[in-house]
Structures are given as C-alpha cells and as structure tokens.
Chain A
Amino acid sequence: MKRVLNSLILSCACMVLVLAPLSAHAEELIVSAAASLTDAFTDIEPGFEKANPGVDVVMNFAASGALYRQIEQGAPADVFASANPKWMQKAVDNGFVDKANVVTFAQNALVLAVPADNPAGVKSLDDLKGDAVKSIGIGTPETVPAGQYAKSALTAQKLYTTLEPKMIFGESVRQVLDYLSRGEVDCGFVYKTDAVKAGDAVAIVAEIPLEKPVSYPIAVLKNSTNSKMAQAFVDYVQSEEGMTLLEARGFKRP
C-alpha cells in the first residue's frame, strides 16, 4: 500500500514538473528574426527586458523564408524581422503586416569569404571559375535572402549557371558560415556580419557589389496578441542602445 502511495506521489510530482511551464505568468513576446540577426538580437534582448520588466522575449531564429512560412501557417509571433524586403513584402501582400508599420532598421554587406587557410587560393570572384575551387557555399536562393542576393549578383555577372554545379546550398546563412569555418567548402557567400563573427576562422576575400544594399525590415504582425509591447520592441531596436549593439556586430545604420 505504502509503495502504491509513494509512486502516486512521485507521478503527481512529475506531472506538476511537466505542466509547470504551461502556466508561466510572464508576458511572452515572440520575435521571429532572420538567422543573420542571431547575435545582435541576442544582445538586444536583455536590455529590452530590463527596460520592460515582466516581459519575456522569445527569439525564433531561422532563414527569413522559413519564418515567413511559419507565419503563413499561423504560428504565433509578434514581431517579424526579415533579412530582405522580399519576405516582408510577401507578409504585407498577404495581410500579415500593415505596410505603414514596416521600417528598415539596419543594413549589411554581402561578402565572398574563404576558410582561414584558403585551400583553393581564392583571391577574387573570377577565381571561382577555376578548377581549384570545387565547392561554393551559398544559401538556398528560394528561402535564404543571403543566397538570393548572391544569386542576383552572380547572375548579373553571368556567372551563376557556370558555377551552379559547384554550389553547396545551405538552409540558412549560418549553415554556410559553419561550413566555411570548418573548411568543408572552398569559399562561400555570407554577410559581412557573419564573417566578422567567425573571427580568425574565416577570411573576407571581397565585398560583392549589389544593385540594392542588403536591408533589414522589421514590423509588428497584425495577429500579435500584444501589439503594444511588440511596437515597443521595434522602437527599442531603432533606439540609440539598439543601434549601438547592431553596429557592434557589424551592421550599418540605414
């Protein structure tokens, strides 16, 4: 009898532990942000939470295209920060975001980078055609903005179709960066901020000229259950504190 009672108590205790997170009391703010914003937004989070006690910011980092698809499927999110205007435009077109609310809060540059030891001896974009280069890391253009920018730039220089057989498509710009720092690809296209983050493991070969600069739009989602707090977050990102943190990670002011 005693053993039965004990196991009952134990299982109740387990249930309580399992269900506890479901009854959290802090206000949750879900921010869906592009993978390339990971470090900057992780820096911004504590400052915002300090300024707004009782708010728990939950960051959801992935490729912008994947984030948009989540929003489209009805995933709860309060703020959407995309790595290019394309996905934000889609969000506007399909009624998830109010056009008047969209602001560009940061800019970035696209670079051609190599692993520190530069195994293929890449010195310029033209070297990519050479036999020494066997693999080129690039984000999947359909879903990863960094890949989309790289594809446009390469298409403009009539290089994309030539280089396509060598391309290794990453699920996000961060995966491409990881392949670069491990030396799994000979070179790759990442943002300047990513290359800065990788430190000594990755070297920048060249900045890729783009028709339009890499710009990051941010907006409160219409379905946000807490749009006032979401707007406060968007404002905080654009405040002097937010901008300083973004610049520290290699972003430029718009």
Chain B
Amino acid sequence: MDFSWFKVGPEFLQPLLLTLKVAGLATAAATVIGVAMAYVLTRWRFALRDFVDAVCTLPLVMPPTVLGYYLLVIIGRRGFLGKWLQEVFGITLMFTWQGAVIAATVVAFPLVFKSARAALEGVGKQYEDAARTLGLGEAAVFLRVSLPLAFRGVVAGTMLAFARALGEFGATLMVAGNLPGRTQTLSLAVYSAVQAGDDALANSLVLIISCVCVFILVTTSRLLQPKF
C-alpha cells in the first residue's frame, strides 16, 4: 500500500485542534445568541421585527470577504470597537485566534437563528400558556417547555453552524490572518498547502474536513426527520 499521498504530522494536528477550538467556541456563542434572538423575534411583536430578522440572516448571504471587511472596520485597531477595546482593556483582536472565533461566530449565527426560529414557530402557544397558568415564570416556560419542544430543530441548526464555522475562510483570513500555529485553521491550512505545493498535506486535511462535514450532514438530516 502506498500512503505517500497522506501525511499526519504537527502541521496537520495543529490546524485540526485549532479549528475544533475555534469552531466549538463560535458554535457555542452563535447558539446562545441565535436561540435568544429567535425567541425574541417569535414571541414579541415590535416595529422593526422584519428588519432585525433580515440583519440576523444577512451573514448567510453576504460574501465572507464583505463580512471580513466589516469586521476589519469594526474590530480593527482603528475600528470604533477595536480602538475602545485597545484603550480600555488593552485587548487586540486582530491576528488572534479570538478574532477567528468572532469571524466564525458571525458566519455561523444565521444558521442557528433560522433553524431555532422555525422550530420555535412550530411550538404551539397553547403549551406555553398552559405552563403559565400552572404558575411557571417566563424563563422557566422557555427552558422547560418551548426549548425542549423545539430541541431537534435547534440541535440541527447548531450542527450546521458548526460545519459552517469549521470551513470559514474569507472573513477569518482578513481578520485573523493566516499564521501557522496561531490562527491557521483547517481551511487556511488547505489553502497554504495547495499554494506551497504540499499535496500530501492538502489531501489529508481535505479528507478530514470532508468526513466531518458528511457526518454532520447525515446526522442533521436524521435529526430533522419527523418521528411517527
């Protein structure tokens, strides 16, 4: 057997571990914010609801480079948020793995938000009202009635968000850069490996990311199948 097309070494493990860290944290952040936003938009009526919904969905359709540019302008050293963080806390997000987490959160967020919103819309209001008449507070109603009923949709959205965060490239490259060992995630490592002509490394990275994505897609489709 010829295994020369495949390579496992530090240059393979480092991006893999970093990607899992970045995508994991980004998915966690996107899930919390996404579910909260979805709940607010499903249960409350207010003037700019459709506009807020559109803004939350925007990262799904925007080119990653455009998002990257927005992030540069916001959290860059001279950006309004970046400048403030720098002056008040001495934090720089540019070229750090935390910056990569922010980029991945932004691209993953709409997937959670959309799925959670669809799932929560599907939860009958009568169950929530029944819980309220039985004396549960709003937070308890959400945590013990709405969320469990919408659980499968939320989990499916979360998994898709994780897959999307795994593969983030454009915005990450602009904000976190492509720094081997520091901010080089799997997709950036694939890019660099191809550029440098290291096909063996590219093959092994591509194989891993493909397997993970297929696994996620199969699992989500099974989760979303209606139970009879």
Contact = CB atoms under 8 A, between A and B. Distances in A.
Determine if chain A interacts with chain B. yes
A184 B192 contact: no
B77 interface: yes
A170 interface: yes
Contacts of A66: 195
Contact of B196 (A142, A170, A182, A184): A142
Contact of B77 (A65, A72, A183): A183
Contacts of A170: 177
Interface residues of A, number: 18
Given A69-B194, A69-B195, A140-B178, A168 B95 contact: yes
B76 A69 contact: no
B195 A168 contact: no
A72 to B, nearest CB: 8
A169 B183 CA distance: 11
Contacts of B173: 171
Given A168-B95, A184-B76, A143 B196 contact: yes
A135 interface: yes
B78 A65 contact: no
Contacts of B95: 135, 168, 184
B10 interface: no
Interface string B56-77: 0000000000000000100011
Given A65-B195, A143-B195, A182 B76 contact: yes
Contacts of B177: 168-170
Interface string B115-134: 00000000000000000000
B137 interface: no
B179 interface: yes
B195 A183 contact: no
A69 B196 CA distance: 8
Nearest to A72: B197
A65 B194 CA distance: 10
Nearest to B196: A142
A182 B72 contact: yes
Contacts of B196: 65, 142-143
A143 to B, nearest CB: 5
Given A168-B95, A169-B178, A182 B195 contact: no
A171 B174 CA distance: 10
A71 to B, nearest CB: 12
Interface in A60-119: 63, 65-66, 69, 72
Nearest to B73: A182
* Best-surrounded residue of B78, B180, B195, B197 (most CB of chain A within 10 A): B195
A169 B72 contact: no
Contact of A142 (B78, B92, B179, B195): B195
B94 interface: yes
B76 A168 contact: no
A82 to B, nearest CB: 15
Nearest to A165: B182
Contacts of B78: 182-183
In the A-B complex, list the 10 residue pairs whose CB atoms are closest, starting with the nearest.
Answer: A142-B196, A143-B195, A184-B94, A168-B95, A183-B78, A183-B77, A184-B77, A168-B177, A66-B195, A184-B76
17 contacts: A65-B195, A69-B195, A72-B197, A143-B192, A143-B196, A168-B177, A168-B179, A169-B178, A170-B177, A171-B173, A171-B178, A182-B76, A182-B77, A183-B76, A184-B72, A184-B76, A184-B77
Given A171-B178, A182-B78, 13 more contacts: A65-B195, A69-B194, A69-B197, A135-B95, A140-B195, A142-B196, A143-B195, A167-B179, A168-B95, A182-B77, A183-B76, A183-B77, A184-B76
Interface of B: 72, 76-78, 92, 94-95, 173, 177-180, 192, 194-197
